[in-house]
Structure 1
Amino acid sequence: MKTIERRSTCPINYSVEIFGDKWMLLLLRDLMFNGKNSFLEFKASDEKISSAVLTEKLNTLLNEGIVTKITSPKNASKFLYMLTEKGIELVPFMVEFLNWGSRYNPNGGPKTLLEKIEKNKKKAIAELQDNLRSQRHSYTNNPSDAF
């Protein structure tokens, strides 16, 4: 297990060392908002991450305990990446990032989710977190029901 060598004990530094590049935030976006959880699904994203970079970033998320990797119940040669509770705790941060980006990006963002956030941000965050927990639970505890 490769660990990140920390430059300091500063909490912001800790966060930046994990999430300080675009790929990590885009992987979190895909896990949280786009329902993606396999290597090929991540590769199919519009941003065109390379296989080597994707492998490196997924391994970092695994090593940091933000995602867990399970064997697909439908295909034993396929792995699925699911957010852990530590990863699910990042939902409020990602919602704020999404909200800020949609406000200043002329192309907007996912309208249905943004409308939910605007109407009741706290409820939208709770629903997202509950859905992610349910998804993880269905994959890990009832594999036959997951697909």
Structure 2
Amino acid sequence: MKIRRSGCPINLTLETFGDRWSLIILRDTMFGGRRRSFRSLLTESIEGIASNILSDRLQRLTASGLLTRAADPGHKQRIIYSLTESAIELVPLMALMGSWGMRHALPSKELSARARVLEDGGPQLWAEFMDELRHIHLGSPAPAVSALAQMQAAYKASIPA
């Protein structure tokens, strides 16, 4: 059994996924529009995570119940990581972190586009996004509205021509 510093819910949350790389992996898996392989997480993240750190954080996130891992049926040697319901329930927290970052951290216009869509859409869009993530990662029925498509369209529109 892991020793916890305290029973404070904020501390327990931070102990579960509170380091930079864990949040980046969850972000990339959440906003990437698909389940992710080790290779895609390694090569497609703009932050450039090292392979040993990625491996460690994937093990931690899987052990804490935020990700699951399964063999890729299309590739015998590839493992696919998917969000769990616990991770999907982090959407409101990610949306609020994005909103805070837009106001206080001077982000780029392009990389703020998705956060702005989530902020403007509020809890209703967050719920739609979580339903879409449940479809992608947990196999539930597809939602009628694609929050990911709205965020992707905003991102593309923000890129200078």
TM range (shorter): 0.7 to 0.9
Q: Deviation per CA, 1:21-73, whole angstroms, max 9, x where unpaired?
A: 11011111101112361111111112111111111111111111111111112
Deviation at 1:117, TM superposition (A): 2.3
* 1:23 equivalenced with 2:21 (yes/no): yes
Give the AA of the match of 2:20. K
Q: Which residue of 2 aligns with 1:128?
A: 129
Q: What TM-score do you get using the length of structure 2 for normalisation?
A: 0.76
Cα distance in 1 between the residues matched to 2:133 and 2:48: 25
Q: Which residue of 2 aligns with 1:13?
A: 11
* 1:83 equivalenced with 2:83 (yes/no): yes
Cα distance in 1 between the residues matched to 2:14 and 2:81: 22
Give the AA of the match of 1:22. R
Q: Which residue of 2 aligns with 1:145?
A: none
Deviation at 1:133, TM superposition (A): 0.5
The RMSD of aligned alpha carbons is: 2.0
Map 1:1-147; keep pairs closer than 5 Å.
Answer: 4-35=2-33, 37-44=36-43, 45-104=45-104, 105-108=106-109, 109-111=111-113, 113-138=114-139
Give the AA of the match of 2:50. S
What is the number of equivalent residue pairs in this alignment? 136
Cα distance in 2 between the residues matched to 1:70 and 1:76: 11
Deviation at 1:138, TM superposition (A): 4.0
* Unpaired segments ≥5 residues, structure 1: 140-147
SS of alignment partner, residue 77 of structure 1: strand
Cα distance in 2 between the residues matched to 1:51 and 1:115: 31
Q: Which residue of 2 aligns with 1:142?
A: none
SS of alignment partner, residue 76 of structure 2: coil
What is the aligned-residue identity percentage?
38
Deviation at 1:115, TM superposition (A): 4.4
Alignment CA distance shift 1:119-1:7 (3 Å): closer
